[in-house]
Structure 1
Amino acid sequence: MATPSVLLHPVRLRIVQVLRDGEEFTTHQIRELLPDIPIATLYRHVATLVEAGVVEIADERPVRGTSEKIYRIAPTLANPTAEELKALTPDDLLTVFTVFTSGTIRDMDAYLHGGSPELVEDRVNFAQADFWASDEELDNFLEILTDALLQLRKNTRRADRRPRRLTTILMPRDITGQEES
């Protein structure tokens, strides 16, 4: 699997963002979505991502006597199972996490440049909150959160509703050397 650094190039990160939600595109389709990137540069960076195992060829189709490749994020990076995650090295996990967060960056960019963003009215919120919790307390919190989210996911389209995406990242903190509060 690729090292996380392969995704730190801005062009490669943008390619991953385009392919993030299970999308499958040819290089020309990617170019239509990223028109500021020269086609030769795009081909070079797609090849780097394929070589690194971040992007794979999903399909090929004949076009005017040649073969046109259709690309997608490698499935183990796009939506890895718990078992796949357990088998990954720390660098592999950071690569998977970088692919995940690139989608969040893409979503915010689309929101901010898709009209006139009204963060307060649209209830846009992102924050970090540190807290102390036992495993049992955290499991209880996650159960409450999951139940609330499951209720919202039952909602159907209606004039007063708009699609929303909740992204959560939960991880332990190392506070070595920090004063407890």
Structure 2
Amino acid sequence: MTSADLLLHPVRLRIVQALLGDRALTTNELKTELADVPTTSLYRHIARLTDAGVLAVAAERRVRGTVERTYVLRLSAASIGLDEVDAMSPDEHRQAFTAYVAGLLDAFDRYAARTDIDLLRDQVSYRLAGMWLDDDEFAELRRELARVLRPRLANPPRPGRRRRILATVLLLGDDAAE
């Protein structure tokens, strides 16, 4: 199974997303976060991700005669390599992008289903921006974004911090206005 096949399955993608931000979750906590996923299916997907090295067992403890495991994400294993991306067909890229967008829709739906949403208070936003950049300017923008984001990605959880998900899509726009 390729990394793309492994990671872009809708349930496995949600498991990976649940563990983003250096979270350590038990199978019960994952079951609570993915309540719409049947338990047997969830366990099967956790096992696949663990066997592939995407998830690691951070702790184990006995609970009523069974072993409860706490999982963490191995971020280096939770990505699709550049060689694999390069080898994907346009249809495979469409499928991957569809899985990505479906994950975003699911995350927003779960947020919107809460009874206390307030986009301004919660600082939730979504927007598009168009920029005219040559390749060097675009490379500089990407380096600047990485420089700004890198230290924040390393922030550990603590009181007062809320886990936030940043999703980016960089597309080439139509050049008709050139």
Normalised by the size of structure 1, how large is the TM-score? 0.57
Unaligned 5+ runs, structure 1: 151-161
The aligned amino acid for 1:11 is V
The aligned amino acid for 2:6 is V
Matches of 1:98 and 1:56, distance apart in 2: 27
RMSD: 4.5
Regions of 4+ moved over 4 Å: 97-107, 116-124, 135-138, 140-144, 162-166
Matches of 1:24 and 1:164, distance apart in 2: 13
- 2:71 is matched with which residue? 71
Give the share of equivalent positions with the same residue, in percent: 35
Q: How does 1:62-101 map to 2 (within 5 A)?
A: 62-77=62-77, 89-91=83-85
> Once the 2 structures are TM-superposed, how far is the Cα of residue 35 of structure 1 from its aligned partner?
2.7
Q: How does 1:15-94 map to 2 (within 5 A)?
A: 15-77=15-77, 89-91=83-85
Are positions 1:173 and 2:172 aligned together?
yes
> Once the 2 structures are TM-superposed, how far is the Cα of residue 43 of structure 1 from its aligned partner?
1.0
The aligned amino acid for 1:13 is L
* CA deviation vs aligned residue, 1:28-87 (integer Å, no higher than 9, x gap): 221122233222121111111222332222222233454322112113257x9xxxx9x8
* CA deviation vs aligned residue, 1:120-176 (integer Å, no higher than 9, x gap): 7877532333322246645379769x88xx9xxxxxxxxxxx97958363646386x
Matches of 1:98 and 1:129, distance apart in 2: 21
Normalised by the size of structure 2, how large is the TM-score? 0.58
Against the structure 1 CA distance between its residues 142 and 125, is the aligned structure 2 distance closer, same or farther, given a 3 Å change threshold? farther
Unaligned 5+ runs, structure 2: 87-92, 152-160
Matches of 2:137 and 2:13, distance apart in 1: 37
Tell whether the 8 Å contact from 1:13 to 1:102 is kept in structure 2 after alignment: no
